[in-house]
Every structure is written in structure tokens, then in C-alpha cells.
Amino acid sequence: MKEKLLAIEAALDSEIALVADNEGIEALRVKYLGKKGELTAILRSMGSLSAEERPVMGKLVNEVRASIEAKIGAKKEILAQEGLAKKLLDEAIDVTAPASIRTLGSRHPIAAVTEELENIFIGMGFDVADGPEVEYDYYNFEALNTPEGHPARDAQDTFYINSKVLLRSQTSTVQVRTMEKQKPPIRIISPGRVYRSDAVDATHSPMFHQMEGLVVDKGITMGDLKGTLELFAKTLFGEDTRIRFRPHHFPFTEPSAEVDISCFMCGGKGCSLCKKEGWIEILGAGMVHPNVLRGCGIDPEEYSGFAFGMGIERIVMKKYGITDMRLLYENDVRFLKQFN
Ligand code: DAH
């Protein structure tokens, strides 16, 4: 029986060396120490021993059991430590690995320039007003002294929702909406989207952006308009910039003008940017027509005003030397990220 006990312990020694995980060690525990295990079998057979042999063998069985328990316990401990070491290794952060690059977006050039324009006029005391893009024919044409059948409507052919409602073709609508709500003095700008049924090409889009300006007060003159636009042009394009007024016609201003700035690339000598003209047209402007003031309940005998409207894409394109307007709407990141 003693030999049998020693053989069991020796067998355990060789088996335990091969165990590599918790399941393996648990199987060994059951095999050697469990109810149906080898030691239990020996304990059961002790009844056949003599009264002298029994306590001696009992002591030996207990010693072997304790030794086996200790060996299994020690192996468990080793396995736990190996597991922890492996986990630490697996979860370690390799600080030398290259970082994953997060690309930051950038502001769209139209949004950036719009904000720049706004800031220039806010600095001169203007408020920023807003108006709807889906608009009544009344605000887009009628109240701007452009009744049905007026030839100026053709040039701004837009998208009609029905005979009275359309997508606005100009931000000038906000002039009327502002004057209806607010008594002079009025000093507002209003940037936003406008629509025209134009086919897409390098300089046209059925949707583009404009910024309107309106000043109404007592004693406002063309001199105020000129001074305001000159300061605007110098702030945006540089101190040496000059402006030029060319007579023009808009139904809602009288007199009306188209306004050019001296080319900021060549200073007026003529280059590819200004198409050898020396001047770049940037906006339309004029003194608010008495009919428009009257229609909004403002007495043209008491008040006068000036207005102007500019295309934002045009300014963006000139400023950054962009020759194809479509680039502004394609949202190709290779194009957009240049404006970071
Ligand atoms: N609304 C005009 C257009 O889209 C631009 C314009 C011209 C606006 C003269 C004005 C102005 O306020 O006074 O062509």
C-alpha cells in the first residue's frame, strides 16, 4: 500500500509538469483528490488493514494528500502569474507605434468669406438680418419696384413654387422685409442663398450666395454710399484699393450704379485676374427708389437711403484665384483643405 501511495505521488509529479491551464489543474485535482479519486480509493481499502497498520498508513495517506494539495496549489499560483504576465503583455500600449491621424475639417471658403464680409460691416455699425429663401413674388419683385411684365424679371428668372411663391433670386427681398418691420435709422446687411434658373458652368450656378446692404435715415446721400463701399473695399482688398462707380439701372434704386474695385493683383495695370481691365466688378448699388420706401410705409420726403448687393462667390473666386465656380460646390476635400 505504501508503494502504491508513493507511485501515485510520482505519477502526479510527471502529470502536473505537463499542465498548462486552469482546466488541466482542476482535472488533476479531481483525479487525485476527488471523491472517486485515487487517494479516496486507498482510504476506503484501509478497512482490510490490521489495527497496528491502520494508524501508520492513515498518517502516510494524510501526508501524501497534503503534499499533493500543496503541489496543486503551487501550480495554480504559477498559472495565475503566467496568465497575468501574458495579459499585461497583450494589453500593453506600444508608444512607438505611429499615431492614427485624425483629419480636421476646415471652413468652406464661402462661409469664411461671408463671415469676413459680415465682420467688416458689423464694424461699421450694421446689424445682420435674415430672410426666407422660399419667398413671395411680392418681396422678390413687386415691392422692389419690379411689377409683373417688367423686363428686369427676365434677367432673374427663378424657380416658381406657384404663381405667387418662388425661390428668391436676390437678397434684396430682405430690404423690404426689414423696412416693413423697422423704423429708420436702418443699417443692415443680409447674406444668404439665392436661386436662378441658370445652367451650371464655370461662372453660373442655379444656387449662389449674395450679400445685401441697406441704410435708411434722414439725409443719407450717394456720398455715404461711396464712403461706405470705399472703406469696405479697402478693408477687404487692401489700403491701396480704389473704387469706381459706373452708371447702371436697377428698378429698386435711382440713381443706380455698378461698382468696380481696382484689381488687387496688378493694382490696375491689367492682368489675367481682371482680364486686362484693371478693374473688377464686385457689386450693384444705388439710392433706394422712392417707390420702394413708400411701399414700406417710409416717407421719401423725410428719409432717404442707399442699398447695395454683391455676389459672394465672385468675391471668393477673385480673392483665391478660383476660375471655376463648380469647385465651390463639389466638396472635394483636396480642394477644400487648401483653405485651412
Ligand atoms: N439685387 C441685385 C442683383 O441681384 C443687386 C443689387 C443691385 C442690390 C443694386 C442692391 C442694389 O441692393 O442697390 O443683381
- 290's grid cell: 422712392
pLDDT score of 69: 84
Could you tell me if residue 216 is left (phi over 0), alpha (psi between -120 and 50 degrees) or otherwise beta? beta
Query: Which is higher by pLDDT, 57 or 183?
Result: 183
Q: What is the pLDDT of residues 148-178, one digit of tens each?
A: 999 988 888 899 999 999 999 999 999 999 9
Cβ(286) to ligand 1 under 6 A? yes
Rounding to the nearest 10 degrees, give the CA dihedral for residues 262, 275, 309, 119: -60
Quote the pLDDT of residue 289. 98
Indicate the length of the chain as a whole number.
Answer: 340
Atom of ligand 1 nearest to the CA of 306: 13
pLDDT value at 338 more than 80: yes
Ligand 1 atom 7 nearest Cα: 284
DSSP states of 52-102 = THHHHHHHHHHHHHHHHHHHHHHHHHHHHHHHHHHHHHHH---TTSPPPPP
What pLDDT was estimated at residue 4?
A: 80
Question: Is 90 exceeded by the pLDDT of residue 45?
Answer: no
Beta carbon of 145 within 6 Å of any ligand 1 atom: no
| Ligand 1 pocket member 190 (CB < 6 A) | no
242 has a pLDDT exceeding 90: yes
Task: Write out pLDDT tens, residues 49-69.
Answer: 888 888 888 888 888 888 888
Ligand 1 touching residue 285 (CB < 6 A): yes
Q: pLDDT at position 72, please?
A: 84
250 CB under 6 A from ligand 1?
yes
Range of lowest pLDDT (2-6, 214-218, 285-289): 2-6
> pTM to 2 decimals?
0.72
Q: Is 323 exposed, middle or buried (0-12, 13-18, 19+ CB in 10 A)?
A: exposed
Please indicate whether residue 307, judged by its CB atom, sits closer than 6 Å to ligand 1. Answer: yes
pLDDT of the residue at 302: 98
Cβ 212 under 6 angstroms from ligand 1: yes
Q: Give the Å distance between the CA of 308 and the centre of ligand 1.
A: 6
Share of the chain above pLDDT 90, in %: 62
Ligand 1 centre from 172 Cα, in Å?
Answer: 6
Q: Phi and psi dihedrals of 215, rounded to 5?
A: -130, 125
Position 104 pLDDT exceeds 80 = yes
How far does residue 309's CA lie from ligand 1's centre (Å)?
4
Task: For the chain, give the percent of residues with pLDDT over 70.
Answer: 100
Handedness of CA 156, 221, 229, 276 (dihedral sign): positive
Compute the average pLDDT of residues 66-91.
84
pLDDT of 317 = 94
Measured CA distances, 3 to 6, 8, 33, 61, 176 (Å)? 5, 9, 18, 11, 112
CB-ligand 1 contact for 158 (6 Å cutoff)? no
